[in-house]
Amino acid sequence: MMRTLTTSACALTLWLMLAGLPAAAAGSGSAARTNAIPTCYEQLREYAPVADRGDLTVVIDQTAYLDTRLRDIVQETVARLVQPGTRVSIATFSGYLQGRYLDVLFSGRVEAPLAGAQRDFVSKRDLRQNDACLADQLVYARRMVARGLASAFSGIDPNVERSDILAALQDLGRRVSDARGANRMVIVVSDMLENSSITSFYQSNHLRRVDPDVELRKVATAGIKAGFHGARVVVIGAGGVSSAASGQSYRDPRAMLALEAFWRRWFEASQAELVEFGKPTPLVDIVWDDPILAAAAPLGAQ
């Protein structure tokens, strides 16, 4: 028996999205930030996909200077990864002593279309309506993600003295490990230059050549442990100049290799696969390893 739904819920959802209203219009407080993308399955709840195919978390280090090109790369990379069947979250962190702790600014789900067998139980009219809603939802989601990233970028202050990257990633790991998506991806936008009570990768305001073994022992002593539950991790901005006004544009290649070696080993110990360590830009296109997500509509189709 075919299911017929009323048009009011879908029409309202479409109107909200096409009107370009902010995510907060869907609710208030933490609920709005957690479910910031309106659903297209209000009237088809029994057919709504339960699990996400992918879970994308983007975390912005607000102590790291990002030039325009790096910001564009982050925007382009994230927009390409926002596909039907993915949940996306935007978070920020800074130095604990500044009171700018890990904070999730935006989280929402881009819903997958009805499965082939389920489509037989819904009228053609309602299928067209649902498909149109999902297409608009994808556009809306990418717009909201772009706004979330712009908001995160606007809060960057390279003059913050401390950068608690390890502690922030420990907190982030708990969130990522709880994600329902079969494929987890984490994009860390940071210079990856820890400067905290645990350790500092600076010496006389320059990147020092760290010893990965020594640094890993410091981290273990501090009790900093993270679990990313098999997530793939991409770093954008590693080793970037901390301040546009510092006049320090050179990074010792040996120091950069040591920095990468430390983080590769730390992520490996945290049940994560560091698939790209952009110094500062990634050298490969970042894509999902899930065939269906990787074959989704290209970015230009948005």
Question: Going residue by residue through the chain (302 aa), what tens digit of pLDDT does each one get?
Answer: 344 444 444 444 544 554 444 433 334 445 446 789 999 998 888 888 888 899 999 999 999 999 999 999 999 999 999 999 999 999 999 866 555 578 999 999 999 998 878 888 888 888 899 999 999 999 999 999 999 999 999 999 888 878 889 999 999 998 898 887 779 999 999 999 999 889 999 877 788 999 999 999 999 999 998 999 999 999 999 997 654 444 455 678 999 999 999 999 999 999 999 999 999 999 998 999 888 887 764 554 44
Domain assignment of residue 278, yes or no: yes
Is the separation of the CB atoms in 225 and 219 below 8 Å? no
**Structural domains in the chain (count):** 1
pTM of the predicted structure, to 2 decimals:
0.86
Domain assignment of residue 11, yes or no: no
Whether residue 280 has a cis bond before it, omega within 30° of 0: yes
pLDDT the model gives residue 178: 87
Name residue, tokens 């990522």: 176
DSSP structural state of residue 195: B
- What range does the domain containing 181 cover? 51-110+142-295
Q: Which two tokens stand for residue 14?
A: 């479409």
Is the separation of the CB atoms in 196 and 164 below 8 Å? yes
Q: Which two tokens stand for residue 159?
A: 């003059």
Domain assignment of residue 21, yes or no: no
pLDDT the model gives residue 246: 47
Domain assignment of residue 23, yes or no: no
Distance CA(60)–CA(64), nearest Å, equals 9
Is the separation of the CB atoms in 38 and 16 below 8 Å? yes
Domain assignment of residue 7, yes or no: no
Distance CA(48)–CA(123), nearest Å, equals 16
pLDDT the model gives residue 100: 56
Hey, is 139 helix, strand or coil?
helix
pLDDT the model gives residue 87: 95
Dihedral over alpha carbons 121, 124, 127, 128 (to 10 degrees): 180
Question: What is the domain-level CATH number for residue 165?
Answer: 3.40.50
Is the separation of the CB atoms in 51 and 60 below 8 Å? no
pLDDT the model gives residue 22: 44
Phi, psi values for residue 282, rounded to 5°: -70, 145
